A = this chain, B = another copy of it.
């Protein structure tokens, strides 16, 4: 790569049917790297603020990163970003599989979708060539049907498809973008944005290898990483159980979200655990992502009464929690069915499950009655009704129409104190990590630009195991109590979140156990940059800062940095009985976070000095 490291960004204006290509210079690539770096850059630069997230003024960005598509485990990912219709703030989600690598191999680092098509269309990208194609015949199809039709009409079963289902078409505010049928860019409603643009899918085929600055170094690193994954404890565990492996330990600790976060222990946990996936012979295979030998995605199939084959993969931990324990449901079959439907219709399983759990609690509290639900008994534990509600949300039918807007908006519709049961931050439903259990995660929920988010957050003391050698490589030496909101915990959040953002910009899997030094070696070998962990952490900090600036421009303030009041009340049973988040401590932790990352203590906006220090003064004008 003698001319330096940069590449092409595809720009598609669906209103005009126009296609163009940006070729930013190397400094742009080195400053923003990819993923959230790209998304936040383009959203800040090219939106003006106040756009309707579901209008033609929003832009939908698919972004890879510096590590995407190279032959190293963890590199098969991409981000999808836009202004979020769920939070009306910064939105993005990351996803694994093969699509991101394929896009890179087709010659593009990112796609910026602008405007809105009159009729349904899909994009077809093949080794640099780009075509906008009619998708009227695909509209209304499940993701499996759609993928098959596209591959057939393009005459290539190797075509990779990222797409929306009917949930996205119907602009369910937490509709996701699905690729390879079982991988979801789940959060913040990117599928709804895609639906609003009448873009059904992006089909990609690429045959170009990613150019490497130092082939030998990368190949040698890749080999060592591959060998290491065979025996690395967490890689082996992920290979066996996927993320589902954490369900039982969380339940044992008392931190498994249960019945809309009312409890932390679920009596039916074992039945929906990774162990159950094995014991019940539900698991029929495993899927993985591009270049990765871990293959952490169980493929499942269940018989009567749910009859699900493995087309749509299987449930992650988040799904087992959201559709399972958090709805009080111990039927593995029902969860598998719900998961398959979410993938078929393109729904985020977390927001879907939390919305259903919210409705169930409202029902049990008498805020909703059978009159509101069309006769459905929305009690916790009612598996059949859960499955039914997934369908109703996707199709916006009956009570599903209200729930399709997320719990914050639904609570406003229901009234009568329903907001007490809306477990969300900034409009996004809380994922399956109990903030009373993982209290650092709780602080992270409040300050995340996308609302309740666990992917750029810390798992508290567990987190020290996620970066090999612990966090020592970043200068943190002591593990901290999980139920603690000290300044040291905030520091752990700041450093940990910066590192998560590094992985995000590289669009690299956080489950592949590489150290900061190894990641940096990969970036050097790929790009030829003499980069350091310091520089990469600053890239991460740029992302956090830009995404925050986007939210501020959309009118968010410090007041939006808060948790649902439920978490200020203690658990009344289980190992964590009596444990809650102290509201004063949380406020203090948020203030400390602001001060550590350079946000104004009153407005919550990044200070000018912080923008200047990161070399992004332009954000102040944007």
Q: Which of A118-126, A295-303, A328-336, A609-617 contacts B (4 or more CB under 8 A)?
A: A609-617
The 0/1 profile, CB within 8 Å of B marked 1, for residues 528-545 of chain A is: 011111110111000000
| A609 x B487 contact (CB < 8 A) | yes
Contacts of A27 in B (CB 8 A): 477
Knowing A30-B477, A598-B595 are in contact, say whether A613-B491 is a contact too (CB < 8 A): yes
How near does chain B come to A572, taking the closest CB pair, in angstroms? 33
Q: Does A211 lie at the interface of the complex (its beta carbon under 8 Å from any beta carbon of B)?
A: no
Count of identical protomers in the assembly = 2
Contact call B473/A531, Cβ cutoff below 8 A: yes
A483, CB-defined interface residue at 8 Å: no
Q: Which of A30, A535, A538, A608 has the most CB of B within 10 A?
A: A535
Q: Number of A residues whose C-beta is below 8 Å from B?
A: 42
Whether a CB of chain B sits under 8 angstroms from the CB of A19 is: no
A473 and B516 contacting across the interface, CB-CB below 8 Å: no
Bound-state Cα–Cα, A517 to B536, Å: 13
Interface of A is mostly: helix
User: In angstroms, how far is the closest chain B Cβ from the Cβ of A159?
Assistant: 38
Assess the B475–A534 pair: CB atoms within 8 A: yes
Contact status A517-B488, CB under 8 Å: no
Expressed in whole angstroms, the Cα–Cα distance for A539 and B474 within the complex equals 11
- A476 contacts across to B, CB distance below 8 A: 615
C-alpha gap A523/B41 in the complex (Å): 36
Please judge, given known A-B contacts A595-B607, A607-B595, A612-B490, whether A474 and B529 are in contact too, CB under 8 Å.
Answer: no
User: A30-B477, A517-B530 known; 11 other A-B pairs, CB under 8 Å?
Assistant: A472-B529, A472-B535, A474-B535, A487-B609, A487-B612, A487-B617, A488-B612, A515-B530, A533-B534, A534-B534, A595-B607
22 examples of A-B residue contacts, CB within 8 angstroms? A27-B477, A30-B475, A31-B477, A472-B535, A473-B530, A473-B531, A473-B532, A474-B534, A475-B538, A476-B615, A491-B612, A494-B613, A516-B534, A517-B530, A532-B533, A533-B533, A533-B535, A534-B537, A592-B612, A595-B609, A595-B610, A596-B612
